[in-house]
């Protein structure tokens, strides 16, 4: 079969006849669950199995489960995981405890996801927020200290990996300085290389991650004409060479208003710039079809990068006592953490 270099959003609780027929022909590399697709544990487990059957292969099923504001699975059906900043707050008091908390929190996320058939998580956020930036990142970031972000991002990836879930470092090369929300507009960052160095540090430190996501942001000091997702200069010179990232590079959602042009053109520009896989998240078949027109089959080095991600996602989780982990997380972060009943 031909696996296409796309990850497609799912916003329905069941695979209906239209989606089944589309996925059979599309053969996407990955599927992505959104809030509308997550009603109950039993339903999500059945949905994941059905999506893989429709796609015709053992596709990674991703989700955005960062904790805090960005959580597709929410109470009362699922636990409320801490926002990433909670781990940074612990780290500021005790670095060892902060790293332990971040690893535990993400291991608990992986424990829940893996049991349902979800084996990819678009986390951790490794952006460095600065004063005056748009609040879209905010407490999704671990800290405003790049060193803390590097340590906690590593711990988060390790926690996910131990549970058989592949993470994704985002948003390369950095979203924390953006003064606009890229869901709504195209941010432009005008500062020079010296100021950007701190923003880049966590991504350089985590360059051995299996998967990373690009930012729809123009870095004027690097490429004043194109957002990072569409910039070969940013992807090849900075992400691949300077950072040394050798993993699978996926675009942020092509539907976001930071990008312009048709969905097909957006996809083509992302691949031309060096992305391995593009995300299309509306859940609408007409939109998916447009992106597929601009998406090649997964090929070349991208295949090996995808295989490395798949190896993590398909691995059996290590032995784990979730009840003890919730108790320990509460002792590290505080009484606001409540273990599931």
Q: Which residues are known to be catalytic?
A: 183, 252
Q: Where are the alpha helices (DSSP H) in the chain?
A: 17-26, 41-55, 84-93, 95-116, 146-162, 193-205, 232, 263-273, 285-293, 301-313, 322-333
Phi, psi at 95, each rounded to 5°: -60, -40
Q: Give me the sign of the Cα torsion angle 18, 20, 25, 27.
A: positive
Strands 65-67 and 70-71: antiparallel
In whole angstroms, give the CA distance from residue 128 to residue 310. 28
In whole angstroms, give the CA distance from residue 176 to residue 229. 16
Beta-bridge mates of residue 211 = 248
Q: Give me the sign of the Cα torsion angle 63, 34, 116, 152.
A: positive
Q: Which two tokens stand for residue 311?
A: 């190896």
Residue 113, helix vs strand vs coil: helix
Q: What are the Cα distances from residue 208, in Å, to 34, 63, 151, 191?
A: 27, 21, 14, 27
Q: What is the CA radius of gyration of the chain?
A: 19
Contact 188, 223 (CB under 8 A): no
């Amino acid at each position: 079969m031909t696996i296409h270099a796309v990850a497609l959003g799912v916003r329905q609780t069941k695979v209906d006849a239209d989606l089944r027929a589309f996925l059979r022909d599309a053969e996407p590399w990955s599927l992505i669950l959104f809030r509308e697709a997550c009603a109950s544990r039993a339903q999500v487990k059945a949905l994941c199995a059905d999506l893989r059957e429709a796609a015709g292969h053992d596709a990674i099923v991703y989700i955005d489960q960062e904790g805090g504001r960005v959580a597709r699975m929410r109470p009362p059906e699922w636990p409320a995981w801490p926002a990433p900043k909670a781990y940074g707050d612990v780290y500021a008091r005790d670095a060892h405890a902060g790293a332990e908390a971040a690893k535990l929190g993400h291991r608990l996320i992986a424990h829940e996801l893996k049991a349902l058939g979800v084996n990819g998580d678009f986390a951790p956020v490794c952006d460095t927020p600065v004063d005056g930036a748009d609040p879209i990142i905010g407490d999704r970031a671990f800290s405003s200290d790049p060193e803390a972000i590097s340590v906690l991002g590593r711990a988060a990836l390790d926690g996910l990996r131990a549970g058989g879930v592949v993470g994704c470092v985002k948003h390369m090369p950095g979203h924390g300085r953006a003064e606009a929300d890229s869901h709504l507009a195209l941010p432009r960052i005008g500062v020079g290389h010296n100021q950007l160095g701190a923003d880049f540090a966590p991504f350089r430190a985590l360059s051995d991650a299996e998967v990373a996501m690009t930012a729809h942001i123009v870095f004027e000091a690097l490429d004043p004409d194109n957002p990072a997702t569409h910039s070969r200069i940013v992807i090849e010179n900075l992400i691949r060479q300077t950072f040394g990232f050798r993993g699978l590079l996926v675009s942020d959602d092509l539907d976001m208003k930071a990008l312009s042009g048709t969905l097909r053109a957006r996809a083509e520009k992302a691949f031309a710039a060096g992305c391995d896989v593009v995300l299309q998240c509306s859940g609408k078949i007409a939109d998916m079809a447009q992106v597929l027109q601009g998406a090649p089959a997964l090929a070349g080095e991208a295949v090996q990068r995808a295989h490395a991600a798949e190896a993590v996602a398909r691995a059996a989780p290590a032995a784990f006592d979730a009840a003890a982990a919730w108790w320990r997380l509460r002792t590290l972060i505080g009484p606001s953490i409540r273990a599931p009943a």
